[in-house]
Structure 1
Amino acid sequence: MLLTVVADYGVGDLAFAEVRQRLARLLPEAAVTAIPVPPFDTVSAGFCLAQLAFGDGPDDRVLYANVAPRQDEDQPRADNAGERLVAARLPTGVLVVGVAAGASMSFLADEGVRLRAVDVPAAGSQFRSRDVFPDALAALVRGETNLLGEPVTVGPAPVRSVAYTDGYGNLKTSWFSAPAPAGTTVRVRIGDAVNEVMVSDGVFAVPTGAIAFAPGSSGWPHGGDGDRRTSYEIFARGRDAAELFGRPASGTPVETLS
């Protein structure tokens, strides 16, 4: 069984090592891999979850996400209370378990995935992903459904925004259609940065040094009718697009200017 952890503590961080040890005890048969995202970055977490959940892989794979900035309430929180844990079983058999914080579950929900609350304490530990959640995760992996409660509704994913920045500095976005015909040069603003970008039908279909706005490698089935939703990507050939745009945080709007 492949178990992927999407979290905002780094792979080399003590926190991940502790979570990994706990999971090894509860699910010794699982091959655990990790996807780190920036601190409190629920948009990147949600994008990664959708890409991995809908992508090709074994049907018995499990995705466990914990990015919990505890920003759902502004008031002081007693006993380290935080956002609720939710779960979903996709028709393919893929199990997703994670904290419903910000946009972490929004890309899934936008595709009609039904989320249900998981009956675990919402408080009691500052480190819930080690002390509270793994036991529930293991129970759900074993097929125990008695922990599942009421349906949970989350807000939509941010549209036409930065969704994830990969290791090359390519900006994967929540644009799912071209902003202009292929071959058109447009001005794109992300945060305070503005650059000229060529709309293309492929990220490498621009000369070295140019910036492309093109369908990238990420996307998933959409609408249940065989269509595919492809994420448009801002790619600087031979350069770092994220750096050119001031390293914008996920969730920052990607705007085209006339």
Structure 2
Amino acid sequence: MIVHLVTDRPLEDDDGEGTDLVRRLALAFPRVAIEVCAVPAGDTLAAGFCVAQLACAGGPDRRLVACWVGDDPAAVAPGPWPEGAGARLCVGRGAGGTLIVGPNAGWCWSLALPDLRGLCFLDVAPAGRDTWGGTLATAVAHAHCCHPHVLAGVVDREHVPAPPVAAVAHVDRHGTLKTTIIGLPARLGQTVDVRIGAIAAPALVSDDGTAEPRPSEGELLLAPATSQWPAAADLGPPRYAELRAVGGSAADRFARPPTGTPIAVTDA
């Protein structure tokens, strides 16, 4: 089994909050691999993309995704949902059965929502910033073990904010720009103009970067975020697109745009 932890808590300090959370999860799940996916502080859009991809794309059958973003999840943009409910932890499952636990913060659940089977509040209430690590570890353990009193009501899906349309969602360690663009905006092999902020550049619409003719070094590709992420026709979530540079960094080409930056794609 693998536990994926999506968090903005720093792990460099042995006494830091992020390290403490990893320790708590390790105690709750002994002899289980814990893999950390780091996102910028308070960035629920990046967290939401990582949660959705880890939980909804292909991978090991036995895995669990936990999310912890923000000092006060209820205060993270675009605001608490439902209005006035305060900081709560929620639980859901992807279509493949992957368990997801995370706060009702910003866009943490927005990109996974189309593929979720159920979304409920958990009967574990955080008391403040210093208790979030222990609270999340307890909530994950209770949800995984199907504790009889773990659920505390169904979440109204209308309260989950829709992600921004055609925007930068996450920048991975390779400099790939994950986006909220649903599907591919043009036919395979077509060159399109991509504008992010003040910078525009041509990009080749591709399936996985292996089609002929082979892309050249440094060429920008607009392709599915992962071939293992189900398409809408498979009753999974939409397969979001990503921008990557062959042998380089797409993020650098566009001056490292922050998440949420709009993306315009037009015919070349």
TM-score (norm 1): 0.85
SS at match of 2:178: strand
Q: How does 1:213-252 map to 2 (within 5 A)?
A: 213-217=222-226, 220-223=229-232, 225=234, 229-252=238-261
- What's the CA shift for 1:241? 0.9
SS at match of 2:47: helix
CA distance in 1, matches of 2:178, 2:232: 21
Give the % identical residues.
34
* Deviation by residue 1:17-71 (Cα, 9 ceiling, x = unmatched): 1112222333324322211111111112111111111233443321110113523
- What's the CA shift for 1:117? 0.5
- Indicate yes or no: 2:142 matched with 1:133: no
Contact 1:44 1:164 (8 Å CA) reproduced:
yes
- What's the CA shift for 1:200? 3.1
Q: 1:173 aligns with which of 172, 179, 183?
A: 179
30-39 or 227-236, which deviates more: 227-236
Contact 1:109 1:156 (8 Å CA) reproduced:
no
Contact 2:53 2:229 (8 Å CA) reproduced:
yes
CA distance in 2, matches of 1:209, 1:158: 28
CA distance in 2, matches of 1:73, 1:256: 25
CA distance in 1, matches of 2:130, 2:139: 15
- Indicate yes or no: 2:196 matched with 1:193: no
- What's the CA shift for 1:160? 1.8
CA distance in 2, matches of 1:141, 1:12: 28
52-61 or 248-257, which deviates more: 52-61
224-233 or 34-43, which deviates more: 224-233
CA distance in 2, matches of 1:48, 1:72: 17
Contact 1:125 1:132 (8 Å CA) reproduced:
no
Q: Which residue number in structure 2 is paired with residue 41 of structure 1? A: 43
Q: Which residue number in structure 2 is paired with residue 143 of structure 1? A: 146
Q: How does 1:13-32 map to 2 (within 5 A)?
A: 13=13, 14-32=16-34
- What's the CA shift for 1:144? 0.7
Give the unaligned 5+ runs of structure 1: 76-80
Q: Which residue number in structure 2 is paired with residue 103 of structure 1? A: 107
- What's the CA shift for 1:173? 1.6
Contact 1:49 1:108 (8 Å CA) reproduced:
yes
Contact 1:182 1:201 (8 Å CA) reproduced:
yes
* Deviation by residue 1:157-205 (Cα, 9 ceiling, x = unmatched): 2232222222111112222332223333322111222222233344364
Q: Which residue number in structure 2 is paired with residue 5 of structure 1? A: 5
Contact 2:191 2:202 (8 Å CA) reproduced:
yes
* Deviation by residue 1:115-164 (Cα, 9 ceiling, x = unmatched): 10112224x22134323222222112211141212222311222322222
Aligned residues: 252
Contact 1:181 1:199 (8 Å CA) reproduced:
yes
SS at match of 1:207: coil
CA distance in 2, matches of 1:173, 1:167: 15
* Deviation by residue 1:67-119 (Cα, 9 ceiling, x = unmatched): 135236989xxxxx963210013454321100121111111112344210112
Contact 1:186 1:198 (8 Å CA) reproduced:
yes
CA distance in 2, matches of 1:43, 1:146: 30
CA distance in 2, matches of 1:59, 1:120: 26
Give the unaligned 5+ runs of structure 2: none
Change (3 A) 1:103 1:218: farther
SS at match of 2:162: coil
CA distance in 1, matches of 2:129, 2:236: 42
